[in-house]
Amino acid sequence: MCATCGCGSGETRIVPLNIGSVMDFKPISCGHGAHAPGLSKTRIVQIEQDILSKNDALAARNRAAFAAAGHFALNIVSSPGSGKTTLLERTIRDLSAALPIAVIEGDQETSNDAERIRAAGAQSIQINTGRGCHLDADMVGRAYDQLRPRTGSVLFIENVGNLVCPSSFDLGEAARVVLFSITEGEDKPLKYPDIFASADIVLVSKIDLQPYLDCDLALIEANIRRVNRKARIMHVSARSGDGLEHWYGWLGQSARQCVA
């Protein structure tokens, strides 16, 4: 178990596409910042480096497999309730006729999100992490082998809702997207800088709620820029459709470049 955040080991399973046995395997634990009785700080640092080195090697393998199949892979990260699945449902319904989409879903339990994605019209497979708080490259690689997306698909990897541990784990994605709801408070990028610093795109979501909230969008952007000057920032609402044309435009252009 991870001494930092309580990640369980030996509990992760990939829920099969059809009824059958589940696949159990030991996830790579996140040990950054851990305090383990009986171990020196030097030894803990070495263990952490070994864990991340192993994950990076598996991520490189995933990245090569995605590229060979012409898959544009996106790691979607946010806190719980920011609207990742709702955004994906809307994206699938709006774009799947022209752009094949597949989704790897990560949650501690249930297959609810994978079922929602399939109902929206896309291929999907569910990873349940048990007490684990993030996806790692091994989980994603094994789920990908089962999912087998169509050639040229956009592959969304919806990570477990968490703004801490996913920042350290490369999954083999071409881009990392952080979804940040305006209901969470303007200071989230300053409280959780690592995840925002690692983002290629920050989608500021639920902007349809702005008239009902005491929310300063300019301050949100300023705080994002304090930790990441390069990320593209877009304001979107999956409910109203506001701003989605910018998200769709970037997505389609990036997917075409990947296939080319």
With tokens 């952007």, the residue in question is: 221
- How high is the pLDDT of residue 51? 73
DSSP 26: P
DSSP 28: P
Residue range 12-259 in CATH 3.40.50.300? yes
Angstrom distance (rounded) from CA 64 to CA 14: 22
Compute the Cα dihedral for 167, 169, 175, 176 and give only its sign.
negative
- How high is the pLDDT of residue 26? 42
Helix (H, G, I), strand (E, B) or coil at 177: strand
194 HSE (CA, 13 A, CB side): 9
- How high is the pLDDT of residue 13? 82
Asked if 220 contacts 206 with a C-beta cutoff of 8 angstroms, the reply is no
CA dihedral 148, 248, 63, 3 (to 10 degrees): -100
- How high is the pLDDT of residue 18? 55
- How high is the pLDDT of residue 14? 83
The one-letter code for the residue type at 161 is G
Angstrom distance (rounded) from CA 186 to CA 203: 14
Residue 257: what are its φ and ψ, rounded to 5°?
A: -65, -35
Question: Over the stretch 12-55, which tens digit does the pLDDT of each residue have?
Answer: 788 866 533 344 444 444 444 444 455 566 655 565 666 789 99
pTM: 0.87
The pair of three-digit structure tokens given for residue 246, joined into one six-digit string: 């910018």
Task: Please list the rounded mean pLDDT of every run of 10 residues in the chain (260 residues).
Answer: 50 65 42 49 60 93 96 97 97 95 97 97 96 95 96 96 96 98 97 97 97 95 98 98 98 85
Domain ranges of the chain: 12-259
